[in-house]
Amino acid sequence: MGLMATRLGFGLAFSQANPAGPGQDDIPSLLRRVAESVEAIGPVDVQDLILHTEVTDNGPWYSLTVYFQRLTDPRAKNRKQRKSSLSRPTSRSSRTRPKRRAS
């Protein structure tokens, strides 16, 4: 695998895209490709994923940047992660919004 992770102050990161040309806009393929790369790295704590779009003559060309930290203890992946408003969905109120009247 020719993937190269860049060391940052808070961890590591890599970016990956589909090959240019036909299929460069195939997001499901890109997600599978990135998932295979993450699995090949080994146990990691993924901290963020950012989808980028480059406009080309062949249409949109997507890439994904993955920010992560390596886990030294494989069991650490199964431990309860610290709660963060960025990593956990917020709960919604049980109330529903009133429906708008059609004009």
pTM over 0.85: no
What average pLDDT does range 85-97 have in this prediction?
Answer: 45
- Give 57-87 pLDDT, tens digit per residue: 999 999 999 999 999 865 655 554 544 444 4
With helix as H, strand as E and coil as C, how does the chain read? CCCCCEEECCEEEEEEECCCCCCCCCHHHHHHHHHHHHHHHCCEEEEEEEEEEEEECCEEEEEEEEEEEECCCHHHHHCCCCCCCCCCCCCCCCCCCCCCCCC
- Give 15-35 pLDDT, tens digit per residue: 999 999 999 999 999 999 999
Answer whether residue 54 shows pLDDT above 90: yes
